[in-house]
Chains A and B, each alone.
Chain A
Amino acid sequence: MIEPEVDEQKFQQAQRALKISALQAGPSDGDSCRGCLYYLELDSGLAFCWHEKLQILVGADWWCHYWEMADS
């Protein structure tokens, strides 16, 4: 049986993003990733966050302290 290869670098990047962003799996004061400038796939419940500090998959109902209001 072949052991799955662990991508240590990807793991570290994700951990770093979590650590500096205060990312939480829920909204804050009614704000969530879906309404954020860096969440571009509005129809998706899970999408890539384009904020330079994150760049990881996030949930539409999540929130982090880099949240910025999307252009209306």
Chain B
Amino acid sequence: MTTCPIAHGYDPLDPSVVADPYPALRHLREEGPVFYLSSLDHYIVTRFDDIEAILKDRETWSASNASSPLIPVCPQAQEVLNSGFKRVPTLNNADPPRHAPMRKSVLAVMTPRRLRALEPVLRDYATSLIEGFAGKPVIDFVQEYSFPFPGFAAFSLLGFPDADTDTLKEWSRTRVLLTYGRLSDEQQVETAKDVVAMWQYVEDFVARRTAEPLDDLTSDLVRLARDQPDQITTFDIVNIVYSMALAGHETTMNTIGSGLLALLRNRQQWRLLIDEPTLIQNAVEEILRFDGPVLNHRRVAKVDTSIGGIDIQAGSRIMMCFAAADHDPTHFGGDAESFRVDRSEAEFHLAFGKGAHLCLGAALGRLETQITLELLTTMTPDMELVPDQELQYSPNALFRGLRSLLVAPRGTGP
């Protein structure tokens, strides 16, 4: 056992790291398996094998801090949250024994049948968004596609009325920054108000579906709760629906934006997808590996333990750096930093986690990304990046997402 080295000078919220975290992460991964980050009081774990072992070991590691604010919110914002935000550990931040009934409930209702039923709806909506590019020399792909599409998908699945979509998206816009970024006190208060508003919306929505279930995932959860009241309650459903509305939206938005950027920057890979559409499924995995939507995920040690020979005390918080692990050459080879849509080991990535906390929305996220690539490569094969644009990413330490991506669509015909 040895003392943990300190990650001097590394700040995941530094603008240069937010813009491109991979060089710093490569350096950390090569230097050692674990570093202590005093500014955030977390240990950073960078290597694939260590992270995989942590994800699979729930005796040693708790997920209870997975959704906790990275930096404590200011008292004014906390007061707003206390006034009406009642979220409790549910899926990604729940440990045994609470986790299993939540997960089983979602698995029971998020069936392949429901996803198959949703697919044509998603394809039509995505097509209409791309048709909207017509006649525009330049579009912001994030604003016009990767932001609205996953929101529509998640909200359709849950059953939120179309008329509420814009309001829900507005409430979701800065949510991530409250938990994982550095907002000013004033911004925190405004975002906290949105959080409370969205929570109250979900409470009301679940109450409506409880009174009159329809054909959507929320209604299926309501039916399940009636049939198996020992498994989930109405309050659990509110927590699940709230979590899924946010998680499904943010991560897939990031995947689609980063994916298109990677493809258009690597024109040969884009051409390969156009010529060989059978590669699209693997391309989705490579996008998730190469520039995935989740940079870091967190755990807290339940007992004294060690990672890679470094002592970790009970109660210590760790950030598992998925972005570093998914570029680990011991798993992805010497060209792990390259983007290759035909990479055979692409699907070994950790973008959706692993083990009991494997992302429940993985199938939906993959479906949305696949639909997007199928449509873009056929409807806008000549799409190009606008040169010399300054790419802006969401300034937070957990999710990697473009704020805008300017592209020239150059035609939207088949």
Contacts and interface: CB of A to CB of B under 8 A. Distances in A.
Do A and B share a complex? Answer: yes
Nearest to A28: B356
Contacts of A20: 347-348
B56 interface: yes
A22 interface: yes
A29 B96 contact: yes
Contacts of B355: 22, 28, 65
B59 to A, nearest CB: 11
B100 A30 contact: yes
A20 B355 CA distance: 10
Contacts of B347: 20
A24 B104 contact: no
A53 to B, nearest CB: 9
A20 B100 CA distance: 21
Contacts of B358: 22, 65-66
B108 A29 contact: no
Given A22-B56, A22-B354, A22-B355, A69 B348 contact: no
A68 interface: yes
Which bracket fits the contact residues of B? 10 to 19
A68 B107 CA distance: 6
B287 to A, nearest CB: 17
A19 B97 CA distance: 26
Nearest to B353: A65
Which bracket fits the contact residues of A? 10 to 19
A57 B213 CA distance: 40
Interface in B256-309: none
A30 B99 CA distance: 12
Nearest to B110: A68
B96 A65 contact: no
B96 to A, nearest CB: 6
Interface string A4-41: 00000000000000011010100011110000000000
A65 B100 contact: no
A25 to B, nearest CB: 12
B104 A69 contact: yes
Contacts of A31: 100, 104
Given A24-B56, A29-B96, A29-B99, A65 B356 contact: yes
B100 A29 contact: yes
B262 to A, nearest CB: 22
Nearest to A29: B100
A65 B354 contact: yes
25 contacts: A19-B348, A20-B347, A20-B348, A22-B55, A22-B56, A22-B355, A24-B56, A28-B355, A28-B356, A29-B96, A29-B99, A29-B100, A29-B356, A30-B100, A31-B100, A65-B354, A65-B355, A65-B356, A65-B358, A66-B358, A67-B107, A68-B107, A69-B104, A69-B107, A69-B108
Leading 6 A-B pairs by shortest Cβ distance: A29-B100, A65-B358, A22-B355, A22-B354, A65-B355, A69-B108
Interface of B: 55-56, 96-97, 99-100, 104, 107-108, 347-348, 354-356, 358
